[in-house]
């Protein structure tokens, strides 16, 4: 089926709508398996080591709490969760002055939480944090009085490490939270979520922040097809990276530095998307609407009027896709 895609307001937020594919299945696909060879983050994690990039992202959120004013993300647990070993990393990150990356890491959480709030207002009662790392939403949950349940999905190695971290920081496990250990490259998201108590007959909100780049494209799209098959009203927000060829020289150099750093930690970037091509794939997967937040809109909506110059660079994008 061909989907009409319109791009509104050039330079502003891109809105791409597809004709509703009517009858998008309400049931979850049985056993969504994403077995792909050569996924190196998956290999590192399969070796039992927790994700080092999860700590890196958490340190940037913590740094945002302590050095940026005004904050675009208020997260009182961001500092406690990085633990004592995070303190040195906090100082090193402050010295590196990677403003654009810090801004983007804070933005992606804020944007997801803004869209989640809108989803809760329309009646969504489940939030699935895919590749949760040290994300603290579940332990803050401002929608608990609306009965929002939270599912944290992550590689078992990272999840084990996070739970030890939470205990060491004295952060309690709230009753609305359930864990689902999943390797996106090899395990069934549907099965593990069901085991954790996910209600496949009710709509859900999903986020996948800072994760897609570390997965193979089949694993990313398998996850997207799983969400697209959820109940109408469901939504996913996820971050993706543009191909290097789309970046200006300075951004390309900065990107190469970041990629080299995380590749050395055993978590190389694997997957990049052109926004229009990605929107087409998401619409083909069964989503009815796709919105891509680019840097111009992000800086306008979230970083205007600042005196510290904090803003996102050109490399990252955040997609929101509605079922
Ligand atoms: C950069 S961290 C992002 C964490 C968190 N979303 C955030 O914004 O801070 C990448 C996350 O992806 C997870 N991840 C990477 N490969 C994975 C895989 N094959 N299966 C499950 N999780 C994976 C890691 O365990 C880690 O939590």
> What pLDDT, in 10s, does the model give residues 208-243?
999 999 999 999 999 999 999 999 999 999 999 999
With a 6 Å cutoff on the Cβ, whether 211 touches ligand 1 is: yes
Q: How many Å lie between the centroid of ligand 1 and the Cα of residue 7?
A: 31
Q: What is the best residue among 32, 37, 54 to mutate for testing ligand 1's pocket, by most ligand atoms within 8 Å of CB?
A: 54
| Predicted TM-score (pTM) of this structure | 0.88
With a 6 Å cutoff on the Cβ, whether 214 touches ligand 1 is: yes
> What pLDDT, in 10s, does the model give residues 30-89?
222 222 334 468 777 877 788 889 999 999 999 999 999 999 999 999 999 998 888 888
With a 6 Å cutoff on the Cβ, whether 279 touches ligand 1 is: no
What would the two tokens of residue 69 be? 């004013």
With a 6 Å cutoff on the Cβ, whether 155 touches ligand 1 is: yes
Count of CB atoms situated within 10 Å of the CB of 260: 10
| Cα(167)–Cα(293) distance, integer angstroms | 36
Phi/psi for 118 (5° steps) reads -65, -35
Which residues pair with residue 291 across a beta bridge?
A: 15, 320
| Cα(148)–Cα(142) distance, integer angstroms | 9
Q: Which domains does the chain possess?
A: 14-20+31-51+98-322 (3.40.50.150)
Does residue 201 contact residue 229 with C-beta atoms inside 8 Å? no
> What pLDDT, in 10s, does the model give residues 301-317?
999 999 999 999 988 89
What would the two tokens of residue 49 be? 């080591």
């Amino acid at each position: 089926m061909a989907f009409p895609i319109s791009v509104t307001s050039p330079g502003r937020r891109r809105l791409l709508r597809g004709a509703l594919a009517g009858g998008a299945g309400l049931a979850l696909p049985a056993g969504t398996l994403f077995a792909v060879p050569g996924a190196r983050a998956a290999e590192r994690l399969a070796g039992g080591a927790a994700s080092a990039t999860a700590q890196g992202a958490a340190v940037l959120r913590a740094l945002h709490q302590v050095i940026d004013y005004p904050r675009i993300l208020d997260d009182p647990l961001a500092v406690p969760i990085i633990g004592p070993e995070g303190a040195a990393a906090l100082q090193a990150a402050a010295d590196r002055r990677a403003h654009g990356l810090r801004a983007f890491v804070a933005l992606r959480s804020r944007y997801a939480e803004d869209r989640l709030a809108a989803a809760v207002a329309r009646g969504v009662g489940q939030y699935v944090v895919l590749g949760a790392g040290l994300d603290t939403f579940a332990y803050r949950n401002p929608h608990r009085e609306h009965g929002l349940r939270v599912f944290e999905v992550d590689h078992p190695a990272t999840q084990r490490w996070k739970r030890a971290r939470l205990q060491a920081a004295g952060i309690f496990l709230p009753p609305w939270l359930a864990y689902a250990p999943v390797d996106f490259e090899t395990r069934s998201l549907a099965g593990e979520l069901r085991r954790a108590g996910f209600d496949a007959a009710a709509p859900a909100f999903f986020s996948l922040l800072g994760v897609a780049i570390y997965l193979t494209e089949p694993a990313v799209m398998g996850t997207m097809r799983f969400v697209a098959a959820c109940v109408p009203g469901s939504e996913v927000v996820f971050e993706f990276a543009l191909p290097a060829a789309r970046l200006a020289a300075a951004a390309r150099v900065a990107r190469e530095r970041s990629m080299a750093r995380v590749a050395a930690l055993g978590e190389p970037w694997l997957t990049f998307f052109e926004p229009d091509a990605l929107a087409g794939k998401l619409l083909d997967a069964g989503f009815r609407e796709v919105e891509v937040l680019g840097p111009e809109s992000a800086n306008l909506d979230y970083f205007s009027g600042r005196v510290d110059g904090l803003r996102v660079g050109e490399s990252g994008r955040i997609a929101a896709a509605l079922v």
